[in-house]
Structure 1
Amino acid sequence: MNTPRDRARPLRIIVIGGGVGGLSLAQGLRRAGVDDVVVYERDDSPRGRMQGYRLRISPEGERALRECLPHRAQDLLTATSNVRHEQGLAAYDERLTPQWAPEFDDSRGDAPDKVDAVDRVTLRRILLAGLDGVVRFGERFTHFERAGGKVVAHFAGGGSDTGDVLVAADGANSQVRAQSRPAYRALDLGVRAILSRTPRAGAIEAGLPEVLRDRFVNVTGSNGLRLALMPMVFRTPPRKAAERLWPGLEFDETEDYYMSVFSVHRDVLRLPDSAFFAMTGEELRDLVLERTTDWHPDLRGVFAHAEAAETYPLALRVTTPVEPWEPGDVIPLGDAAHTMPPTGGVGANTALRDAASLCRALASVTRGERSLPDAVAEYQREMVKYATEATEMSLKIAKWSMRKIDLTEGNLPRT
């Protein structure tokens, strides 16, 4: 009778995309003893493009990170996470008149080691720690093919790699998905956003009221504009935390800041996408100031101190319905499978859940406990369920905060 050891199947796993989901998967696989994994990232370096700023970490996302990361990285994650002074979300109009806001439960309560939010650049550096030789930067995936029972990934410049599994962790514009499921696309919600970062000290100096300083704030203007303001106050500055917990691991100098997301429907914006997405950071900051001339001066002071070099345009998109891919050797993860608007703060958390779940599935295959198709099918059944719930929640919050959007069932874009 065959034992699991007899049925064990070594796997070479190729991950396309070195974002939060792809790197978490690589960390989890290595922690599970699956060493033959490689991550291909199109950027030339970890700072090759705007990765976003502050990330909310949900209870599910924190569990997934702790499942994937080695203990030393977990300690560093906790040490550099956001200091949470207030609970919940505060909602106002543009004159700072309090409004109704939804409430969110958090099963972690006030746990001292709770990871409530993280700086995305810091998180990515933690996720890269210990993956020397695993992550290969400057490799742009072009297409895959199957040969001899294997999957072959091809890259610009003529390089290729052959493995047993190809994971599509390459985001909302996934090139793997474009080949595997060309009709399955993330669709435009019509909302345009401006992401920016403002040093916390500058915002406070500009007159940000004390009640807004240490909590998630949503401001909805009567002219169809919306501002989300989120603090990132490090428990310990990343460099100082690394000196204590991981000597030799390098971090950039950083300071506490606010992440702001200024959003408006394109019909209200009244700018063609060609002009909007061509704007510089300074032009985008000036656009926000011009569109908020009648807002409370304490809010406008925050905009004036936004860093132009850290200000970017964004289109909000969604994948609906979330559907599984054919079970096999090409597997979706994160935005490649379920793009969702950032309004719910759960997109990255859903990718983290994917990483932990897929890690368990692939590790079970290497131990001979399940076949690859069965393990992938089970992973996708679970993923479709929680990703659908996350997408629906994000759309509901988008409807609440952006009243220009009609997100009723009959008006949702369909794939």
Structure 2
Amino acid sequence: MRIIVIGGGVGGLALAQGLRRAGVGEVAVYERDASAKGRMQGYRLRVSPDGERALREVLPKPLQDLVVASSNYRREGALAAYDEKLEPLWAPSFTDPRGDSPDKIDAVDRATLRRILLAGLDDVVHFGRRFTRFEQRGERVVAHFEDGATDEGDLLIAADGANSQVRAQLRPADAAVDMGVRGILARTPRAKAIEAGLPELLQDRFIYVIGGDGQHLGLMPMVFREDPQQASARLWPGLRFEPTADYYMSVFSVHKEQLGVPDEEFFAMTGEELRELALKRTAAWHPDLRGIFAHADAEEVYPVGLRTTVPVVPWETGRIVPLGDAVHTMPPTGGVGANTAMRDAAVLARELTRVERGEATLAEAVTVYQTEMVGYATEAVQMSLKIAKWSLQVDLAEGQTPSHVSSV
């Protein structure tokens, strides 16, 4: 088989790694970014038990070890919630079957993970290639790109995210739902935040602040077990990483009606303008929290809008197969979006391996994958929405669009 993957994010690269590890056919990944650095790819990424299993299934052992070595140094696992005056609030608790295993992958830096997922794929991943459309020619699929180039294969994987161009052509009526929440995503050097007065009880755990003013803040530490470049020198020599240091990922969220800024203006703001907006909106918050915004790296501050897919439905069984946000966009409140995409990659690689071995037809493999994917992705979306209802006061029932929510 020749398999064409549109999108070189976490899901698409995990699939390429899984197929390469299993020796399945030829794989080509096409990514619109000009390089591995590319656009903002997000910051700290929680790794769930399912996500860790998927990573270990698709990656060779040295890269598994590199993910562990460069992952978050786990200190305090429980979620803690406070109001804007730092008065404690009730927070849900979660069980983790991995316990305190020393090689547990609790969280990773997303850019670091992406670099690891690119390891050994120099001949597979093609940067600066913007997909425009596909056409089906019998049992073959032809992908067209903006530069006029084409590629032909047996299967085309839509791993191109929530704004999937593949989905737009194949299923134009599909749309994620805008949850009506706007966020400001920021990265603050850990040393600066602590120097600015971040209390010890907030320094090494996942913190959620629920303001009485309708504003919210998620704060998550990323403390590297080992510098990624040093770890790579031991485990996968030659793999290069951007210089990095411990940091906090923060997400400031508010309903768009309360934000007081039109969407066209909000999404056009610079990082510095967004940082100032967050500071202005939280002027009455406890002073120990304000350093998170004041010392955020302006060039690493971005606007986000929360969206979700309700319900998750399979695509037609054929030569075009969905993976990740293209089929199951979900809010970040559950911390499982990327984990679900990695799980997609592991399951699909497993099923395509059966095809390669003559144990299943391509149609059978795609059907099994999509059936399994819809089941666990639906659970992930529902869990994310349940947490959003608690943390953001958003209530989005499956299949419904509340009056304050619009489709995008």
Same structural fold, with TM-score higher than 0.5 when normalized by the shorter chain: yes
Following superposition, the deviation at residue 301 of structure 1 comes to 1.5
Equivalent residue, structure 1, for 2:305: 315
Instruction: Please name the residue that 1:275 is paired with.
Output: 265
Residue of structure 1 equivalent to 2:396:
407
Stretches of structure 2 lacking an aligned partner (at least 5 in a row):
none
**Match for residue 223 of structure 2?**
233
Residue 111 (structure 2) pairs with residue 121 (structure 1): yes
Shift, 1:407, TM fit? 2.5
For residues 29-69 of structure 1, give each alpha carbon's deviation from its aligned partner in whole angstroms, at most 9, with x where no partner exists.
Answer: 00001140000001101111000000000000000000000
Q: 2:205 aligns with which of 190, 212, 215?
A: 215
Partners of 1:408 and 1:51 in 2: CA distance: 29
Which string of whole-angstrom CA distances, capped at 9 and with x for unpartnered residues, describes residues 246-286 of structure 1?
22111111100000000100011021101101100000000
Partner amino acid, structure 2, of 1:18: G
Partners in 2 of 1:39 and 1:148 — Cα distance? 22
Q: 2:355 aligns with which of 353, 365, 380?
A: 365
C-alpha separation between the residues in 1 aligned to 2:101 and 2:345?
24
Listed one character per residue, the Cα deviations across residues 203-262 of structure 1 (whole Å, up to 9, x for unaligned) are 000000101100000001111100000000000011111111122111111100000000
Q: CA RMSD in A?
A: 1.1
Q: Distance in 1 between matches of 2:318 and 2:401?
A: 34
The farther-off stretch of 33-42 and 253-262 is 33-42
Change (3 A) 1:329 1:310: same
* Partner residue, 1:375: 365
1:393 counterpart (383, 386, 397): 383
Counterpart position of 1:290: 280
Q: What is the Cα deviation at residue 414 of structure 1?
A: 9.5
166-175 or 301-310, larger mean C-alpha shift: 301-310
- Decide which of 136, 158, 162 is 1:168's aligned counterpart: 158
**What is aligned with 1:191?**
181
Aligned to 2:87: 97
User: What is the correspondence of 1:7-86 to structure 2 with a 5 Å cutoff?
Assistant: 11-86=1-76
Which residue of 201, 204, 207 corresponds with 2:191? Answer: 201
Consecutive unaligned residues of structure 1, counting only runs of 5 or more, are 1-10
Which consecutive segments of 4 or more residues in structure 1 shift more than 2 A?
Answer: 405-415
Partner residue in 1 for 2:129: 139
Are residue 159 (structure 1) and residue 157 (structure 2) matched? no
Quote the sequence identity (%). Answer: 69
Letter in 2 for 1:130: G
1:377 to 1:408, Cα distance in 2 relative to 1, 3 A? closer
- For 1:92, the aligned partner's letter is Y
Question: How many positions carry a matched residue from both structures?
Answer: 404
TM-score of the aligned structures, taking structure 1 as reference length: 0.96
The alignment status of 1:305 with 2:295, answered yes or no, reads yes
CA contact (8 A) 2:3 2:25 kept: no
